[in-house]
Each structure stands twice: as structure tokens, then as C-alpha cells.
Amino acid sequence: MKRIFTNGYLLLLLIMLYAPIIIIAIFSFTESPVLGNWTGFSTDLYANLFSGGVNNSLIDAIKNTFIIALTAATASTLLGTIAAIGINDLRYGKRRVMNFVNNIPILNPDIITGISLFLLFVSLGISQGYTTVILAHIAFCTPYVVLSVMPRLMQMNPNIYEAALDLGATPYQAIRRVILPEIRPGMISGFILAFTLSIDDFAVTIFTNGTDGLQTLSTYIYADARKGGLTPELRALSTIILVVVLLLLLIVNIRSRRQARRAEALSQSNNPRRR
């Protein structure tokens, strides 16, 4: 009896969580312009999406989204990694302060980040558009990269950087040949995280995209929905994005599990008693 309740509760919870997403996915396979009307199975919405059957501004929005996400993710991976290496080198007290400072933007509501960046750009006189959106995305993605690189650095034997210097490597060579291979998994996870966060973002983008009509997917969809009803092709697009994000998430999870297993095997083989 108790079991039925717990399982039932869990089922209910999962339905509540996933129903909206699943409904969109299901209705992406029918042509009806109104969500909720099933007019027979069809892949026309997908076909329209790729054959140019939708208006150009949606295609532009998709392009913008990916360009911004790629640029922001690349830049924040670079910045975040350098920051993490620097923070890891600090003495204990300063390191704690820097970690705390790094966490503030993560906990800060997006809307506040958006407004502050908007005000910053205005006060600096930077005209808003591509540059400001990319800068804003780099700003809120970088702390996540720091968070995902940090654990790798902390696990690393602190002497290996010095060992590389000792064997004749310049600081640059030591980082490239010894530190980077060690933290690369963290950097890749950080990149993927930054990429999905950037695609996903609405609040920060809407405040920084200016008045020249720069749209990303999220702002486009928002504007479209307000004009009266969603363009049906968006259902297909949402489904595609859902699948892509799901795949990325799976990759990140599988990677981190594999790493955890490797670390465990390592710590066992390093135990001298187990000879």
C-alpha cells in the first residue's frame, strides 16, 4: 500500500515536470497551427524549419543563438580556466574569498545581472548589440567554468607543476604539457555547461540586445508568442533543442561518472597496503 503511494507520488511528480516538454515534442509531429489539435502525423514542421518555409528572422535568431553561444562558451572557458588556475595558487584564506566572490554571480538572479549589465553598458556608452550580448554571456558563464575546473585542480598533485619547471619547462610549457591535460575534462564540462546556459538565457539577453533587432531564440520566441500564438515550427525547433541539450547533458554525466570511477581505481592502486 505504502509502496503504491510512494510510486504514485513519484509518477505524478515526473508527469508534472515533464508533461509540458513531452506535449511539445508530441505536437511537433502534427501540422495543426494551434497547440492541442491533433491533425494527423506529419513531419512538415521539421521540413519547413530546414527548407526555409519559416520567415528569415527565425533562421537569423537560430544563427545568432549559436554564434553567441559558441563565442561566449569559448571565451568563458578560456577565462574561467585561467581564473581557476590563479585561484588555486592562492593561499588558503584568499582562495576562500575568491571562491566566494566567484559564487555570487551564480546565485545572483539573472534579471539583476541583466539590468546591471544593461546599466553598465549604457554608462560606458557601448552601443548595444552583438558585442554586448556576447560580453554579458561571457560574464555569467565564466563562474560556472571556474566551478567545473576547480575540482580537477584541487585533485592534482600540487608538485607536478613544479616538477615540470624543475625538469626545464618554462611556465608556459609546464601549463600546456602538464596542467592542461590534467584539467581538460573539467574544461570540456565547463564549455558544455557554458554553451547550454548561453542558449538557454533570456533575462540577460533581453536587457543587452539593444534596439537594432538582434534576436536570439529565446527573445524571438518571446516576441513571437506576444504577437499572438506561437509559430507552429517552434514546436519542432524546441524538440530539436531539447534533444541536443539532453545529449550534451548525457555526455557530461557519463564523463563525470567515468572520471569518478577512474579516480577511485587510482586511489586504490596508490594504497601501498594493497600490494
Partner 1 sequence: MSHSNIIEIRNITKSFPDKVVLDNVSLNVKPGEFLTILGPSGCGKTTLLRLLAGFNNATSGTISIDGKDMTDIPPHKRPVNTVFQRYALFPNYNVYDNIAFGLKLQKVDKRDIEQRVKRALKMVGMTDYEHRDVESLSGGQQQRVAIARAIVNRPKVLLLDEPLAALDLKMRKDMQMELKEMHRSLGITFIYVTHDQEEALTLSDKIVVMNEGRIQQIGTPTDIYNEPCNSFVADFIGESNILNATMIHDRLVRFMGIDFECIDEGFGENREVDVVIRPEDIYIIRNAEAAMFRGEVRSCIFKGVHYDMIVATPDGYELEIQDYNAFEVGTEVGMLIKPADIHVMYKERTENHVRGVMTDATHVTLLGESFECEAQEGIVAGMEVDVAFAFDAVELTDDSDDGTSWGIIRFILYKGDHYHLTVRTDDGENIYVDTHDVWEDLDEVGIKISPKSLRIKAL
Binding residues for partner 1 (CB under 8 A): 157, 159-160, 162-171, 173-174, 177-178, 181-182, 266, 269-270, 272, 275
Nearer CB in complex with partner 1: 36/181 = 181
CB of 189 to partner 1, least distance (A): 17
Query: How does DSSP classify residue 129?
Result: S
Buried-exposed string 29-66: b where 16+ CB fall within 10 A, e elsewhere = bbbeeeeeeeeeeeeebbebbeeeebeeebeebbebbe
In sequence order, the β-bridge partners of residue 41 are: 30
Nearer CB in complex with partner 1: 103/155 = 155
**Are 64 and 215 contacting, i.e. CB atoms less than 8 angstroms apart?**
yes
CB of 159 to partner 1, least distance (A): 4
CB of 252 to partner 1, least distance (A): 21
> Residue 243's closest CA among 33, 14, 46, 68?
46
CB atoms within 10 A of CB 8: 10
CB of 163 to partner 1, least distance (A): 4
Say which residue the cell 594493497 belongs to. 274
CB of 177 to partner 1, least distance (A): 8
Residues 6+ apart with CB under 8 A from 2: none
- CA distances to 64, 190, 199 from 103, rounded to whole Å, are 28, 15, 21
Nearer CB in complex with partner 1: 57/155 = 155
CB of 201 to partner 1, least distance (A): 34
CB of 256 to partner 1, least distance (A): 18
- CA distances to 138, 197, 273 from 231, rounded to whole Å, are 30, 24, 66
Nearer CB in complex with partner 1: 8/166 = 166
Residue 30: what are its φ and ψ, rounded to 5°? -140, 155
Q: From CA 215, how far away is CA 86, in angstroms rounded? A: 36
Nearer CB in complex with partner 1: 226/274 = 274
Nearer CB in complex with partner 1: 166/251 = 166
Nearer CB in complex with partner 1: 227/273 = 273
Three cell numbers written together for 154: 584541487
